Amino acid sequence: MVIFGMMFYLFAGLTLLSAFLTLIARAPVHSALWLIFMFLNGAGLFVLLGSELLAMIFVIVYVGAVAVLFLFVVMMIKPQREVLKKEIKWYKRIPVLIGIFFGSEMVFILGGWSFVPVASTLDQLPSRVQISNTTAIGNILYTHYAVLFEIAGFILLGAMVGAIVLTKRAPKERYRQKMSDQVLEKKKNRIKICHVDIRKGV
Amino acid sequence: MGTILRDLLCFIPELTLGGLILIFLGGAVFLKKETQGSVLFGKVMFGVLGMVGILVLLQNLEPLYIFNRLFISDTYTIFVKVLVLSITICIYSFSFSSLKSEKVIGVELYVFILMALLGMFMVIGSNDFLSFYLGMELQNIAFYVLVSFKKDSLKNNEAAIKYFILGVVASGIFLFGASLLYGAVGSLNFQDIGNVLGASTLESSSGIPYALFGAGVGLLFIMVSFLFKVSIVPFHMWAPDVYEGSPLPIVAFLAFAPKVVILSVILRLWALLFSETTVFVASSVLKVFPPMIMGASLLSIIVGTFGAFGQSNIKRFLAYTGISHMGFVVLGISLGNYSGMHAALVYLLSYIIMGIGFFASLGALRYPPGFSRIGIVKDLSDLKGLSKTHPGMSFSLAILMISFAGLPPLIGFFSKLYLLLSLIETGFVGIAILGGLSSVVAAVYYLRIVKDLYFEDAEVSLEVVTPLSFFIPLFLSLGGTVFFCIYAEPVLLYVSILMKMLLGR
Amino acid sequence: MDIFDGFPLLSLLIFLPFFGAVFVFLIPQTPGKTEKNIKNTALFIAGCTFMFSLLIWGQFDPSLGSYQFVENKEWLPGLNIRYSLGIDGISLFFVLLTTSLIPLCILGSWESIKHQQKEFLIFLLVLETFILGAFCVLDLLLFYIFFEGTLIPMFLIIGIWGGERRIYAAFKFFFYTLTGSIFMFIAILFLYFKTGTTSIPDLALYPFESSLQVWLWLAFFASFAIKLPMFPFHTWLPEAHVEAPTVGSMILAGILLKMGGYGFLRISLPFFPEASYRFAPYVCGLSIIGIVYASLVALVQRDIKKLIAYSSIAHMGFVTLGIFTFQREGLNGSILQMLSHGVLSSGLFLCVGILYERVHSRDIEAYGGIVSFMPLFSVFFMSLILGAIGLPGTAGFVGEFLVILGTFQVSPLMVVGAGFGIILSAVYMLGLYRKVVFGPVEKIRFQKLKDLSMREGSLLFFFVGCMFWMGLYPNSFIGALHQPISKILEYYGRQQDALVPIFKMKNSIVFNEREL
């Protein structure tokens, strides 16, 4: 039990630390790396809770896919640090305020947390002892929440199509002969008849 | 299997929408030219939306919990779905040609309109914060894309980024609140939350008020995210910027449909948790909610009213007036009794009726060719002297403005009448006077538009495009605005039935 | 009454102009061709309405104390607010005033409105509907709707066809009135919440607590006093009159102001007798101040329209004075004063309009010696001016005399102030006439002035004829007023000849007799 507690504080502390470092790191690459470290620690916390599936998903999805993509993007963008810094300076104070607000709130709430007696009966998850939690999640996700699972699919579809639509630019106009346009061109669009007085110009 | 079949039957409109999205996406691949597809889909859309509407109307009117109580289907959801669908059809019918003039057109547009509609249907039918959240995300994603459709405009990019970031923040706040609520109550189902909170107060003498506290904080966060979506002060900042940057038809869509949807859920939750019939509110932390929401709504009435003063851009102006009108609606809801909620829904309906007409007539006004600006009219001052060139159009605009200002005998007056009456009934005479005075202040800028239309001379001679698709929504809206005073009975009766049902009376 | 039983006469009367407006709206407009058509149509509709109101007058039974031609229908579901109409003697004459003035206004605008004539006529007809509605309804909310509805057409009439500062004047007119009305609106809602009804006859019987009465009375007073207008709230009126087109001024002075006085008679007095008593001294005081102040201001005006506008304020001072004496003579007098002022002031504004069309100036100094070129006009103008002064035999005299008679029974002191106002009115009115009509002809261009055309002459003849009729045979009006005034006075627990000095009895009156 002691080791369990120690591991919890280790992971939790490292999560907080790396989250903090993500924010203050100067180079974007460092930020991304700290983010990855934070995800790993988060996965560790899940392992401690006994939900190894979520821990694996955390690592695979967030670290393997999201964060690595971040790194790619970061490497492709040339950051203009000095310009950004001046503008951002003032705004830095606001997150601090929000952080203090949220932190004190969490202390306030969790300090005296207790469950309503009825609450435990409403719990949808089966007991962890009997089946593995992969099975449990599978059971509930594909039966009870099957519809929501489908909606999530739609959300991803929407996000994907949206991303493509928004990033796709129309191909640049190439100077090419368009027969149909030439044939269909009207006189009035092209030719303007002016009655010019002598020695006045147009 | 029997229940699944029943659930699927109740879900037919949503399933149809989902199928149509896939068909549209797949069909777009096989069409040769992009323009060809947009023309084809543009024509099919009316039929599609109408068909969905018929499917919704065919639904069973009795209350049914479907898919393990994740969704609910009753008269109220059908009413709101039909409402949202009719908003969509009206806006779509005039948006088709104005989107052409804004150079925003593409097959994806229709896909995302359908997707937003699907998301909104999910939200309307949700009976659980989880299904609510997923529906809202679907709707949000579609709106993020719709808002940022004008890729080449810098203003539009700014608006899109702002809308996206603030939308995501609101979603984050919602999730945080929902997880706190789940932690405290053990369920995200609306009825369960109501039951647990009710039970917990009865036992609060045995020392468990903290769970309720957690639930209260959770609900607070959820409410904040709702107010974000409805653009109530202090969460209103996004509205003017986003409206300004987006194409007008999209703004029209954004200004009504998501707000109606969220307000319908707020109404349902409020009836469940904070209405006069729920006993536990008075004795718990939850009792701070009604005054808090009322304060926010009053603030947004005031901020919206005074904010609209200095606006010259039409869309910013619309955003601020929208803030103040939404303030009135939420004010009605926050009363928590039958008359207040009835008034809120009537107000919302009247706002939609007037607003659709206003958007439709604005969408028909274009800058003349050769003018320094192109497309749909952008500044309020460009409306000057319209009565001399287009008397009919300026007449209808003037009627809508007068109705917005709340002057009798138009619909805007009756919605304010019901709201102020419910305020006085509940004992808030001071707030009623404040609301009345703020509508006097609001009348100043609405009448300023009437002044521009009639008293001034034209600086730009605007063109009016006149396809039938503009005039049908405009005539519907004008008819509703003018004739509400004569024959309002069916609407009012229906609304009262709905509210009685929600409040369980 | 027999053949028209159950026939919605009043609804028809009210909405006839509205449907006429719709009809005019549908006439296609081609410049130079259809304008005559449009004007004739509008005139025909207004004339029909006038005939209709005469029919109603013929069917009206002055001996009945109750409301007549009553209509009562379900209107707003869920709320106990009904569409109920009905008229008594008081409203009858206001209806007649309205229906007779509107055709005259259309004739008056025949040539003076140069652009957007179609819109003008539409607004005029819609305005008539709202005004008639306000005088005929028996439901408070409906009254508010019609009362407020008049604002928009009038706002547009001032704003579109007005003078140079028309926008300022239109907005001032609008927001002064709207602000007052909002308090009335809240008060109406409060009344509804308190009693569960907005029916005017029912509410008149409802015993309100005295503390409540004070607030509600003040709320209604805010609206009516601004509309009338009473002394401290009058500043919108001169602006609106000066900037409005001639016809706008005619309607404004002739009818719209009367809605304030009508509101006092129909709502403030019957609903809140206690509060009316309590505030009567102040109202009377303000009226006297208003009469004297407005007369003094009128003395120094250079603008003819402004002068007439201030004289209107003074005349309206007599109206409130008469109403708040709670004497039969006072009430009779104030109603007659309103009717006569409706005829006289609109006639005077028409005269000013006729002059303005010829000379294009409203400055008194710009005129002089008109009599040599426009003799017929000068005769009509003289008669109307004498009427405004209150010469015996004219309409103005009857009203002012009765008001002073009523006031005398209450406080002789106030009569001195009112009499002073009458003397001043003679000074400024005759001064105006002297400067405009007589005097040396300095301006050569006046020689080209044409006298009245057939249209203008017959219009003014009608006004002058009305004026003498009301002055010489006021009984045709007073007869029908007897019953409704008795009804109002009933609430005050005393009759015609009970002398009650209201300044002394503030504390002694107990209202227990007033039961349901």
- The pLDDT tens digits for B147-193 are 887 777 888 888 899 999 999 999 999 999 998 888 878 788 988 88
Chain C residues inside the 8 Å CB shell of B424: 186, 189-190, 193
Nearest chain B CA: its distance from C254 CA (Å): 23
Tell me the two tokens of residue A192: 């303007």
Closest Cβ–Cβ partner in C148, C170, C186 for B436: C186
Nearest chain B CA: its distance from C67 CA (Å): 24
Q: How far apart are CA B321 and CA B317, in angstroms?
A: 6
* Residue from B261, B278, B398, B406 nearest B336 by CA: B278
Chain mean position to CA B111: 20
Chain C residues inside the 8 Å CB shell of B413: 145, 148
Q: Which pLDDT score, from 0 to 100, does residue B299 have?
A: 92
Question: Do the Cβ atoms of B131 and A151 come within 8 Å?
Answer: yes
Q: How far apart are CA C376 and CA C374, in angstroms?
A: 6
Mean pLDDT, rounded, for B290-308: 91
The structure tokens 């003040």 sit at: C218
Chain A residues inside the 8 Å CB shell of B130: 145, 148
The CATH classification of domain A1-79, taken from the options 2.60.40.1180, 3.40.50.2300, 1.10.260.40, 1.20.120.1200? 1.20.120.1200
> Does A94 lie at the interface with B, CB-CB under 8 angstroms?
no
pLDDT digits 0-9 by tens, B352-369: 999 999 998 888 888 887
- The range of the structural domain enclosing residue C161 comes to 9-490
Q: Residue B197: pLDDT above 80? A: no
C500, part of any domain: no
Q: Residue B82: pLDDT above 90? A: yes
Of residues C501 and B76, more confidence is placed in B76
CB C165 within 8 A of CB C243: yes
Tell me the two tokens of residue C17: 């102009």
Question: What DSSP letter does each residue of C234-249 carry, written as one string?
Answer: -THHHHHHHHS-HHHH
Q: For residue B487, give the H/E element and its range.
A: none
* Residue from B255, B368, B366, B374 nearest B304 by CA: B255
Chain B residues inside the 8 Å CB shell of A151: 122, 131, 134-135, 138
The structure tokens 């948006």 sit at: B95
C421, part of any domain: yes
Q: Which pLDDT score, from 0 to 100, does residue C516 have?
A: 35
Query: Which chain A residue has the Cα nearest residue B214?
Result: A109
Query: Which chain B residue has the Cα nearest residue C148?
Result: B408
Q: Which of C18, C115, C152 to mutate to test the interface with B (most CBs of B within 10 A)?
A: C152
Nearest chain B CA: its distance from C159 CA (Å): 6
Nearest chain B CA: its distance from A124 CA (Å): 8
Return the minimum-mean-pLDDT range out of A38-52, B294-308, C341-355, C438-452. Answer: C438-452
Q: How far apart are CA B241 and CA B156, in angstroms?
A: 9
Q: How far apart are CA C103 and CA C44, in angstroms?
A: 8
Q: What is the mean pLDDT of each run of 10 residues along chain C (516 residues)?
A: 68 90 83 78 91 88 82 80 87 91 88 82 91 91 91 90 87 90 89 87 84 90 90 88 89 90 90 86 90 91 90 91 87 90 91 86 82 86 90 86 88 86 90 85 69 86 90 84 82 49 40 37
Evaluate the omega torsion of the peptide bond into residue B409 and state whether it is cis, within 30 degrees of 0. yes
Question: Do the Cβ atoms of C78 and B496 come within 8 Å?
Answer: yes
Q: Which pLDDT score, from 0 to 100, does residue B53 have?
A: 87
Q: Which pLDDT score, from 0 to 100, does residue B171 have?
A: 94
Q: Which pLDDT score, from 0 to 100, does residue C164 have?
A: 84
- Which residues neighbour C3 within 8 Å (Cβ) at sequence distance 6 or greater? none
Q: Which pLDDT score, from 0 to 100, does residue C29 have?
A: 73
Q: Which of A91, A107, A118, A172 to mutate to test the interface with B (most CBs of B within 10 A)?
A: A118
Q: Residue B43: pLDDT above 80? A: no
Q: How far apart are CA B379 and CA B490, in angstroms?
A: 38
> Does A119 lie at the interface with B, CB-CB under 8 angstroms?
yes
Question: Do the Cβ atoms of B451 and C167 come within 8 Å?
Answer: yes
Chains B+C touching (3+ CB pairs under 8 Å): yes
> Does C174 lie at the interface with B, CB-CB under 8 angstroms?
yes
Tell me the two tokens of residue B163: 């809308």
CB-CB neighbours of A54 under 10 Å: 18
CB C244 within 8 A of CB C183: no
Query: Which chain B residue has the Cα nearest residue A109?
Result: B214
C508, part of any domain: no
Average pLDDT in chain B: 85
Nearest chain A CA: its distance from B120 CA (Å): 12
Q: State phi, psi for C451 to the nearest 5 degrees.
A: -75, -175
Chain mean position to CA B263: 7
Nearest chain C CA: its distance from B442 CA (Å): 11
Three-state DSSP at B464 gives strand
Query: Which chain B residue has the Cα nearest residue C165?
Result: B455
C124, part of any domain: yes
Question: Do the Cβ atoms of A113 and B211 come within 8 Å?
Answer: yes
Residue C453: what residue type? S
pLDDT digits 0-9 by tens, B226-261: 999 999 988 888 899 999 888 888 898 899 999 999
Q: How far apart are CA B269 and CA B200, in angstroms?
A: 18
Chain A to chain B Cβ contacts (< 8 Å): 108
Of residues C79 and A111, more confidence is placed in C79
Mean pLDDT, rounded, for B382-406: 88
Q: For residue C74, give the H/E element and its range.
A: strand C68-76
Return the minimum-mean-pLDDT range out of A50-54, A107-111, B208-212. Answer: B208-212
Per-residue CA distances from A15 to A21, A43, B169 (Å) = 10, 10, 22
Tell me the two tokens of residue A133: 């939690």
pLDDT digits 0-9 by tens, B457-501: 888 888 887 777 788 888 889 999 988 888 888 888 888 889 888
B313 bridge partner residues: B379
C435, part of any domain: yes
CB C78 within 8 A of CB B421: no
CB-CB neighbours of C89 under 10 Å: 22
Question: Do the Cβ atoms of A155 and B148 come within 8 Å?
Answer: no
Question: Do the Cβ atoms of A144 and B68 come within 8 Å?
Answer: yes
Q: Which pLDDT score, from 0 to 100, does residue B281 have?
A: 57
CB C20 within 8 A of CB C42: yes
Nearest chain B CA: its distance from C10 CA (Å): 16
How many structural domains does chain C have? 1
Chain C residues inside the 8 Å CB shell of B402: 152
Question: Do the Cβ atoms of B186 and A119 come within 8 Å?
Answer: yes
Return the minimum-mean-pLDDT range out of A7-11, B234-238, B449-453, C371-375. Answer: C371-375
Chain A residues inside the 8 Å CB shell of B208: 114, 116-117
Q: Given a contact as 3+ CB pairs under 8 Å, which chains touch C?
A: B
The length of chain B, given as a count of residues: 505
Nearest chain B CA: its distance from C193 CA (Å): 6
Question: Do the Cβ atoms of B485 and C145 come within 8 Å?
Answer: yes
Q: Which of B341, B342, B401, B454 to mutate to test the interface with C (most CBs of C within 10 A)?
A: B454
Per-residue CA distances from B114 to B17, B123, B142, C56, C208 (Å) = 7, 14, 9, 60, 58
Question: Do the Cβ atoms of C76 and B492 come within 8 Å?
Answer: yes
CB B265 within 8 A of CB B123: yes
Q: How far apart are CA B455 and CA B69, in angstroms?
A: 58
Chain B, 133 to 192: residues with Cβ < 8 Å from chain A are 134-135, 137-138, 141-142, 144-145, 148-149, 151, 180, 183-187, 189, 192
Chain C, 33 to 72: residues with Cβ < 8 Å from chain B are none
Mean pLDDT, rounded, for B404-410: 87
Chain A residues inside the 8 Å CB shell of B186: 115-116, 118-123
Q: What is the DSSP letter of A141?
A: I
Q: How far apart are CA C238 and CA C306, in angstroms?
A: 6
Q: What is the DSSP letter of B376?
A: B
> Does C204 lie at the interface with B, CB-CB under 8 angstroms?
no
